[in-house]
Amino acid sequence: MFIDMRNISKSYDKVEVIKDLNLKIEDKEFTTLLGPSGCGKTTILRMIAGLETPTAGEIYFDDKCVFSDKEGINVPPEKRNIGFVFQDFALWPHLTVFENVAFGLRARRDTKNIEERVIHALKAVRLGEYRDRYPSQLSGGQQQRVGFARAIVTRPDCILFDEPLSALDAILRDEMRVEIKRLTAELGVTAVFVTHDQMEAMSMSDRIVVLNKGAIEQQGKPEEIYQRPRTPFTAKFIGKSNWLDQNAMFRPETASLEKKDGYKVYRTVVDGVQFLGENYQLYLDAGGKQWIMESPCRYDIGSDVSVYINEDQIVTF
Amino acid sequence: MNRTTDKKQTIVYFTIFVILFALVILPIIAVFSEAVIVDGRFDFSNALQTIIDKENLTTITNSLLLGVLVVIVSTIISTPLALLLARTRYARWKWLDVVLMIPFMTPPYISSMGWILFMQKRGLFQQLFPWTGSISESFFSLGGLVLVMSFHVSPFMTTMLKNAILNIGMNLEESAAVSGAGFLYRLRRVMLPLLTGNYAIAMLLVFVKTLSEYGTPSTLGNRIGFYVFTTDIHRYASTAPIDFGKASSLSGVLVVICMIMWLAQSYTTSKHTYNLVGGKGKKESLYNCRRATELIGGIYIFLIIAVTIGVPYFSVIATSLIKLRGYGLAAGNFTFQHYVELFTNNSKGWEALVTSTFLAVVSATIASIMGTLIVVLIKKAGNWKKVIEGEALLPEMLPNIVLVIGMMLFWNKIYKLLPLYNTLGFLVLVYVVMFLPYSIQYVSSAIMQTGDSLMEAGKVCGGNRSYVFLHVTLPLIMRGVMQGWMMIFIIVFRELVAASLISPPNVQTVSTFIVREFEQGSASVAMAMALICVVITTTLLIILNNVIGKKKY
Ligand SMILES: Nc1ncnc2c1ncn2[C@@H]1O[C@H](COP(=O)(O)OP(=O)(O)OP(=O)(O)O)[C@@H](O)[C@H]1O
Ligand SMILES: [Mg+2]
């Protein structure tokens, strides 16, 4: 299922947080909405789910209009047939794992083979044995997996994730990333994933939509966004960027500390050094601008360093 | 559909607003208009005359004097208690918190009767200590009244102050101590300044409670000829010559005073309380006291319990068991006969118990359903929510007697339209309005603890409004609903003001039964009923704390 948002605006008490947004989410793709805190990611997701009503615009699921301001259409969330994974899990504490997952089927009076289908969903997230536990008896990662099983059990056309990993610790987060990616691919559903973590976005997405202040800055494949940012905002927000001036930057790994033919040399002074384990991160003063470079060996603070830059890799705006 | 849902919502909000307006606001308007409208014209002079009438001026000054004295005495009683319960080893004795609340949970008219029976001529005190002569009779004075009322409200004040002290956290005091401040210096420079706001709030609330209280003034106050707002309003509204104009004028003054106090209270809350959260989880923090200090503290707590609980309950129990009062506390003069009488003698007592149970169950149920529906329906209502909550919570700020007078006036006026006045149904209605705020507060706090996302998850999983309400919202807030229900049940079960003013003819409730028997000289029967009433409500309270109070998830 593709999702098409046309000219969507949303205001809270006269403050416009989404401005005339046009966003198309492709069928069966894993799309990530990425942006700083408060840029409106959650709002967009909730409008897709029907939990929030846009102030103006239209939303289509395939050819079916689920919201239209002009025509007065607003399909309620329970009729949109989507899955939603909440940031705070939102598991019902008074229901067992099994009943949490079965909820959507029971609510739709779709109880044929309910046992089998719920168990199947639980097995998919590797929680088959936990069916009779209450959410409070599960770890954070397990809770999130229940939330995920709950979202897929009704076979939705699309699953929405609102920062589902932010409540988990770093190791669990890595594990869940892989798992979410695997499951959505297996199910062949359209997935919309919200995060403000660029690593998460890069590693999981087919497409990234970078948002800033309620508007789209850029969208495209992760590589495209990283290598060819179209605005300074995207360049700064994603990855590390070293700036030559206001409108020109390069990624640290495209430059070198060793002399290379055809590269342009810049003289810098070491400002600070951090040991990262596999290598050192240097903070360089390049004529008033701060650059970051990685280096296999330590430099003394105050020492001079030459940076060689491949001019083809410089991105200008 | 977008706009039609909006419109539907607005209709729902408006309906709730109108219903509450009719139930709460119109009665208040009725009070004021009764006071200033004479023969269809505005006539402030009448109201003014009532107010400056010498007798009524005495009433007003009496009330204010009583309020001030009770505030002072209960502050004196509560301050050491709060410190002891927050900062000494007694803080570990959790049961003390419960026991010390008993005087507050005991209906004031019952403890007043206990005190009267204890202190009166040939009362229990004189029987126990015959050598004291007639000393105990000096209790029947303003001083005695102030003491009894202070005993009743001080647990409330103690709890507020104790929580405020606990909130301060030991770290602030410890840092002062490390900076070289001794105990008294810390008390003066750290604790008291941080507590000023809490003191002010507690004092204002105690003042309002005292002014609104009817039970003690009507039993002990009337006996010593000390009349206050509530007793005078009650008299004007119930004994010939009935004069609703006067009752309303006094009610008006009382409302204005109470509202000013509430405003002052909320102003103080916003301005003078400190936000003291922060730092790591609070550890238990006790003073290192000398043994002697601890001992003195222990004796103080024991004395408070002995006097505020021991005396009235001893009186109630002893009186209910005494065969012939002339013989007093003597072996062989004890009997359970009064308890038997309650249920056999023309079964008046039994009927009263049934009536009160009926009233309590029905009012608590209706109020709980209304409260739950209102809270759930207006959850997302923005400005409507503020307005509707304001309406619904107003009865809690009004003295009960004023609300009752207002509803009497209003429902009398529309009797032709809705002949509810003078029926048991009207009493139910009054209780529902009076205690709706309890239900709303319990349910609101329950709903606040369940995040929105649980309901939203229900919706995206395919549940419609009613399905989500029944399977998600309701189970999650059920504890709050039940707590509110029990609280309302307990209070309605023994409520006195409304019962005595608007019970239909020949219908008695537990409270009016007790008062009637007491006044007619059957103190033993009255006290037997009082004890049954206290036992029933206490049992419920224990159930409330143990069964429902336990968090399952
Ligand atoms: N119910 C609301 N009422 C008023 N303003 C709101 C409401 N919900 C969100 N906003 C505002 O809308 C803007 C976008 O909020 P949103 O929650 O969509 O941000 P976000 O991108 O999800 O941020 P985060 O990464 O912190 O979750 C914010 O400025 C926020 O203050
Ligand atoms: Mg968000």
**Higher pLDDT, residue B140 or B95:** B140
Band (pLDDT 50/70/90 cuts) for residue A193 is: very high
- What is the pLDDT, as a whole number, of residue B221? 93
- Residue A207 clears pLDDT 80, i.e. is over it: yes
Q: List strands edge to edge, sheet with A242-245.
A: A242-245, A248-250, A315-316
- Residue B73, classed as helix, strand or coil, is helix
pLDDT in tens, B409-439: 999 888 888 888 888 999 999 999 999 999 9
pLDDT, greater one: B243 or B368: B368
Q: Which amino acid is at B232?
A: D
| Nearest ligand for residue A196 CA | 1
B284 three-class SS: coil
Residue type for position B460: V
Q: Do A77 and B471 touch (CB under 8 A)?
A: no
C-beta A12 within 6 A of ligand 1: yes
Comparing B38 with A299, which gets the higher pLDDT? Answer: A299
Q: Is the CB of A37 inside a 6 Å radius of any atom of ligand 1?
A: yes
Ligand 1 pocket residue status of A46, Cβ below 6 Å: no
Please judge whether B459 and A86 are an interchain contact, meaning their C-beta atoms are less than 8 angstroms apart.
no
Domains defined along chain A, listed by start: 3-227 (3.40.50.300), 242-316 (2.40.50.140)
Confidence (pLDDT) at B4? 58
User: Looking at per-residue confidence, does B142 or B552 come out higher?
Assistant: B142
Residues of chain B contacting residue A80, judged by C-beta atoms under 8 Å apart: 460
Rounded mean pLDDT of A169-195? 90
One-letter amino acid for residue B5 of the chain: T
**Closest chain B residue to the Cα of A55, Cα to Cα:** B2
Ligand 1 neighbour A88 (Cβ under 6 A): no
Using CA atoms, how far residue B83 sits from B79, B90, B160, B170, B197, in Å, is 6, 10, 11, 13, 16
Report DSSP letters for B322-388, one per residue.
Answer: BS-TTT-S-TT-B-SHHHHHHHHGGGHHHHHHHHHHHHHHHHHHHHHHHHHHHHHHTTT-THHHHHH
Query: What number is the average pLDDT over the span B392-411?
Result: 92
Crossing angle of the two packed helices B383-397 and B424-449, in degrees rounded to 10: 130
Question: Which pLDDT score, from 0 to 100, does residue B275 have?
Answer: 59
Return the closest-CA partner of residue A229 out of A218, A242, A216, A240: A218
- What pLDDT is attached to residue B241? 83
pLDDT for the residue numbered A130: 93
CA dihedral A74, A79, A80, A82 (to 10 degrees): 150
Distance in angstroms (rounded) separating the CA atoms of residues A3 and A65: 10
B124 pLDDT above the threshold of 90: no
**Residue indicated by tokens 């809705």:** B418
Query: For residue B66, which of B251, B244, B207 has the smallest C-alpha distance?
Result: B207
What DSSP letter does each residue of B206-261 carry, written as one string? HHHHHHH--HHIIIIIHHTT---HHHHHHHHHHSSSP-HHHHHHHHHHHHHHHHHH
Does the beta carbon of A41 sit less than 6 angstroms from any atom of ligand 1?
A: yes
Quick check: CB of A214 below 6 Å from ligand 1? no
**Which chain B residues have a beta carbon less than 8 Å from that of A81?**
462
Q: Determine the residue among A103, A136, A144 to mutate to test chain B binding: the one whose Cβ has the most chain B Cβ atoms within 10 Å.
A: A103
Q: Is the CB of A246 under 6 A from ligand 1?
A: no
CB-CB contact of B90 with B84 (8 Å) = yes
Residue B504 pLDDT more than 70? Answer: yes
Residue of B nearest to A73 (CA): B1
d(CA B18, CA B388): 9
Specify the pLDDT at position A288.
87
- Percent of chain A clearing pLDDT 70 (strictly above): 100
Distance from CA of A178 to the nearest CA of B (A): 24
Mean pLDDT of B73-87: 92
Q: How far is CA A286 from CA A264, A271, A301, A304, A307, in A?
A: 14, 10, 14, 10, 9
Pocket test for ligand 1, best of A43, A53, A210, A211 (most atoms within 8 A of CB): A43
- How many beta-carbon pairs under 8 angstroms link A with B? 84
Q: Check pLDDT > 50 for residue B1.
A: no
Region B459-484: mean pLDDT is: 91
Mean residue pLDDT across chain B? 87
Q: What is the pLDDT of residue B281?
A: 44
Under an 8 A CB cutoff, do B471 and A103 touch?
yes
pLDDT tens sequence across A38-94:
999 999 999 999 999 999 999 999 999 999 999 989 999 999 999 999 988 899 998
Residue type, B165: I
Ligand 1 geometric centre to CA of B228 (Å)? 54
Q: Do B475 and A69 touch (CB under 8 A)?
A: no
Ligand 1 atom with the smallest distance to the CA of A43 is 18
Is the pLDDT at A265 greater than 70? The verdict is yes
pLDDT digits (tens, 9 = 90+) for B284-326: 567 777 788 889 999 999 999 999 999 999 999 999 988 776 6
pLDDT of residue A269: 93
Three-class SS of residue B173?
Answer: helix
DSSP B11: H
Output the CA torsion sign for B156, B157, B159, B160: positive
Whether the complex's predicted ipTM is more than 0.85 is answered with: no
**What percentage of chain A reaches a pLDDT higher than 90?**
69
Task: Work out which ligand 1 atom sits closest to the CA atom of A41.
Answer: 21
Nearest to A49 among B454, B460, B552 (CB): B460
Q: What is the 3-state secondary structure (H, E, C) of chain A?
A: CCEEEEEEEEEECCEEEEEEEEEEECCCCEEEEECCCCCCHHHHHHHHHCCCCCCEEEEEECCEEEEECCCCEECCHHHCCCEEECCCCCCCCCCCHHHHHHHHHHHCCCCCCHHHHHHHHHHHCCCHHHCCCCHHHCCHHHHHHHHHHHHHCCCCCEEEEECCCCCCCHHHHHHHHHHHHHHHHHHCCEEEEEECCHHHHHHHCCEEEEEECCEEEEEECHHHHHHCCCCHHHHHHCCCCEEEECCEEECHHHEECCCCCCCEEEEEEEEEEEECCCCEEEEEEECCEEEEEEECCCCCCCCEEEEEECHHHCEEC
Q: Which two tokens stand for residue B13?
A: 């909000």
In this predicted structure, the answer to whether residue B544 has a pLDDT above a threshold of 80 is no
Give the pLDDT band (50/70/90) at residue B276. low
pLDDT at B551: 60
Q: Is A77's CB within 8 Å of B467's CB? A: no
User: Two tokens at A309?
Assistant: 């830059």
Task: Assign B243 a pLDDT band (cuts: 50, 70, 90).
Answer: confident
Q: Please list every residue in chain A whose beta carbon sits closer than 8 Å to the beta carbon of residue B453.
A: 86-88, 90
Is ligand 1 within 6 A of the CB of residue A39?
yes
Average pLDDT, whole number, for chain A? 91
Q: Is A220 on the interface with B (CB under 8 A)?
A: no
pLDDT in tens, B158-199: 999 998 888 776 677 777 777 777 777 877 777 788 888 888
